[in-house]
């Protein structure tokens, strides 16, 4: 398989970037998307050129580090899939690919395809935790959690914080990410005590980080690789509305 790749190159946040075109040939259809970029980098290094910087860690769809926009879709257009789970056979009918970083004011470009998502860390540090005393580990087994709440909390907790929801939102909002973290903790007995204060702190931090507000476009739900739904936002709004 042969591909024409238009890849965003940018030295740092202070220097304007642009797309650079590369050709790569003889790619096996079972090669993953990131492995294809590895091969391209080997080709660039062999030609004494600067390799393309992109982010990754687990390559198993767990860490959320592989934050690429491919042909306009965060993580590509395959539903419930991270970039590292894509294979080149998924693009056998799209031999010309445009690859760029997640674009949002709150995700400044570090270099090429890698962005700084420490704003997400700041949101978690503002309130995404339980600070009340919950006892030792054996005490946790004495706190009963009903099955529907446990399942719903787990579904929210599967958010990997990749930022695809921000990248696709016309307002660059992190509301789905924040709502998932709030809902996850609020559904558990240990998290109930601080739920409203937690929600207010995290939303305030989201706004101070420069993220926009939700306007119900629901694009975030479509591109989320873990299927986080906007029902989390409804739950968060209910928490904030309670006196």
Q: What is the pLDDT of residues 37-51, one digit of tens each?
A: 999 999 999 999 999
Q: Given the structure tokens 């409804």, which residue do they identify?
A: 234
Q: Please state which architecture CATH assigns to domain 118-241.
A: Orthogonal Bundle (1.10)
Cα separation, 207 vs 205, whole angstroms: 5
Query: Looking at the DSSP assignment, which residues form a beta bridge with residue 111?
Result: 114
Q: Where, residue-wise, is CATH 1.10.1060.10 in the chain?
A: 118-241
Residue-wise pLDDT tens digits, 220-237: 999 999 999 999 999 999
Tell whether the model's pLDDT for residue 1 goes beyond 90: yes
The CATH number of the structural domain formed by 3-111 is 3.10.20.30
Residue-wise pLDDT tens digits, 120-175: 999 999 999 999 887 887 877 788 899 999 999 999 999 999 999 999 999 999 99
Q: Where, residue-wise, is CATH 3.10.20.30 in the chain?
A: 3-111
Q: What is the pLDDT of residue 242?
A: 80
Torsion of Cα atoms, 140 then 142 then 144 then 145, to 10°: 10
């Amino acid at each position: 398989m042969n591909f024409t790749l238009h890849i965003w190159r940018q030295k740092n946040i202070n220097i304007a970037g642009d797309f650079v075109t590369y050709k790569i040939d003889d790619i096996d259809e079972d090669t993953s998307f990131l492995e294809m970029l590895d091969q391209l980098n080997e080709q660039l290094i062999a030609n004494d050129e600067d390799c393309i910087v992109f982010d990754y860690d687990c390559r198993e769809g767990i860490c959320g580090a592989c934050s690429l926009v491919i042909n306009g879709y965060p993580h590509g257009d395959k539903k419930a899939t991270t970039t590292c789970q894509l294979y080149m056979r998924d693009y056998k009918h799209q031999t010309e690919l445009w690859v760029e970083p997640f674009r949002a004011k709150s995700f400044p470009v570090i270099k090429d395809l890698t962005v700084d998502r420490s704003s997400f860390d700041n949101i978690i540090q503002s309130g995404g935790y339980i600070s009340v005393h919950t006892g030792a580990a054996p005490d946790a087994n004495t706190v009963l959690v009903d099955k529907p709440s446990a399942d719903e909390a787990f579904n929210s907790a599967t958010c990997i914080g990749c930022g695809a929801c921000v990248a696709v939102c016309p307002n660059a909002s992190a509301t789905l990410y924040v709502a998932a973290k709030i809902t996850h903790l609020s559904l558990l007995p240990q998290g109930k005590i601080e739920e409203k204060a937690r929600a207010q702190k995290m939303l305030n931090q989201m706004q101070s980080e420069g993220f926009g507000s939700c306007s119900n476009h629901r694009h975030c739900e479509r591109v989320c690789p873990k299927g986080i739904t906007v029902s989390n936002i409804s739950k968060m709004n209910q928490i904030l509305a309670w006196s």
